[in-house]
């Protein structure tokens, strides 16, 4: 399937999920309309976890196999995950300001999410500083494995510590959960964002494969 | 509706981040494709 066709399908899906979030899902009783940010914010957070999980898997695989393809997947997933976590860090304060009266607070969940963004930004900066491809791949894979340790900390932070951030609504145990129309809207939004994630990771992977071809061709040109 | 502007701002900001990122990947891809063509032409000429 052509990538422009896939992008068109995703565009329609995103429009449908946007419609569901705004018109189909009911307005939450205590927060009002501002709660609708939740559909994008939480879906992006879960998609970022999927991206960082993929990066972790690729990094582990690179350490054991030294396959260039694992390195390409690692950097692609890390960069796309960073885009998703940036959306989380931007939409969170937009929700927080009318609800809490402040844009930001250094509680466990917010701080650990901010650190997560910084860790994967450092992962990409580290790659840009190492010229030799094998060394770059190995060092960044080891750093990526370390960076992933923050993901479970972000996920469990609201379960382990008292935080300003709301308690879990999804998979939060007894008493938690979503109203059925909210659940449908949320799951479809997450599905659409997973499509965006796959589209972006595959485009970024093609970029890395092409970069490797350029490096090979340059070496060949230098030899001559 | 109270705070509707904040909700719209959040969605616009979110989709803008994805769109800008996709454009940046597409631009880098196009630059690299041109570089591959240039290097291939250089190597063919050298033969």
Low-confidence ranges of chain B (pLDDT < 70): 47
Q: Could you tell me where the DSSP H helices lie in chain A?
A: 3-19, 37-65, 68-100, 108-129, 133-148, 150-160, 180-223
What tokens does A4 get?
């422009």
Q: Would the pLDDT of A141 be above 90? A: yes
What share of residues in chain B are helix, strand, coil (percent, to 5)? Answer: 90, 0, 10
**Confidence (pLDDT) at A4:** 77
What tokens does B46 get?
């050298």
ipTM of this complex:
0.91
Between A and B, how many CB-CB pairs are < 8 A?
Answer: 90
Q: Which residues of B touch A194 (CB under 8 A)?
A: none
**Confidence (pLDDT) at A114:** 97
| Cα separations in angstroms, B38 against A178, A216, B24, B27 | 55, 13, 21, 17
Within 17-36 of A, beta carbons closer than 8 Å to B belong to: 18, 22, 32-34, 36
**Confidence (pLDDT) at A198:** 95
For the segment A116-120, the average pLDDT, to the nearest whole number, is 98
- Distance CA(A24)–CA(A27), nearest Å, equals 9
Listed by start position, the domains of chain A span: 37-165+182-223
- Distance CA(B22)–CA(B27), nearest Å, equals 9
Do B7 and A34 count as a contact with CB atoms less than 8 A apart? Answer: yes
pLDDT tier, A104 (very low <50, low <70, confident <90, very high otherwise): very high
Q: Mutating which of A19, A213, A215 best tests the B interface, going by the most B Cβ atoms within 10 A?
A: A213
- The answer for residues whose C-beta is within 8 angstroms of residue A92's C-beta and 6 or more apart is A41, A110, A113
Mean pLDDT over the full length of chain A: 91
| Cα separations in angstroms, A108 against A100, A130, A164 | 16, 33, 8
In this predicted model, what pLDDT tens digit does every residue of A149-205 receive, in sequence order? 999 999 999 888 887 777 777 776 666 777 889 899 999 999 999 999 999 999 999
Q: Would the pLDDT of A14 be above 90? A: no
Do A207 and B11 count as a contact with CB atoms less than 8 A apart? Answer: no
pTM reported for the whole predicted model:
0.92
DSSP result, A89-118: HHHHHHHHHHHHSSS----HHHHHHHHHHH
């Amino acid at each position: 399937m052509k990538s422009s066709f896939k992008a068109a399908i995703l565009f329609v899906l995103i429009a449908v999920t946007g419609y569901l979030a705004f018109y189909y899902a009911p307005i939450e009783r205590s927060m009002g309309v501002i709660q609708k940010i939740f559909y994008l914010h939480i879906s992006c957070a879960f998609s970022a976890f999927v991206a960082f999980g993929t990066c972790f898997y690729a990094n582990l695989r690179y350490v054991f196999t030294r396959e260039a393809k694992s390195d390409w997947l690692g950097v692609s997933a890390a960069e796309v995950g960073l885009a998703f976590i940036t959306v989380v860090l931007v939409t969170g304060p937009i929700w927080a300001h009318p609800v809490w009266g402040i844009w930001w607070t250094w509680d466990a969940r917010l701080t650990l999410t901010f650190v997560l963004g910084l860790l994967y930004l450092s992962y990409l900066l580290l790659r840009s500083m190492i010229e030799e491809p094998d060394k770059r791949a190995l060092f960044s894979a080891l750093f990526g494995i370390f960076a992933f340790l923050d993901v479970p900390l972000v996920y469990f932070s609201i379960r382990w510590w008292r935080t300003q951030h709301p308690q879990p609504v999804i998979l939060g145990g007894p008493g938690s959960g979503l109203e059925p129309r909210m659940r449908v809207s949320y799951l479809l939004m997450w599905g659409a964002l997973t499509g965006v994630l796959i589209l972006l990771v595959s485009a970024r992977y093609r970029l890395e494969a092409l970069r490797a071809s350029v490096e090979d061709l340059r070496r060949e040109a230098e030899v001559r | 509706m109270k705070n509707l502007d904040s909700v719209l701002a959040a969605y616009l900001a979110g989709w803008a981040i994805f769109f800008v990122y996709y454009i940046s990947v597409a631009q880098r891809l196009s630059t690299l494709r041109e570089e591959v063509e240039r290097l291939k032409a250089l190597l063919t000429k050298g033969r």
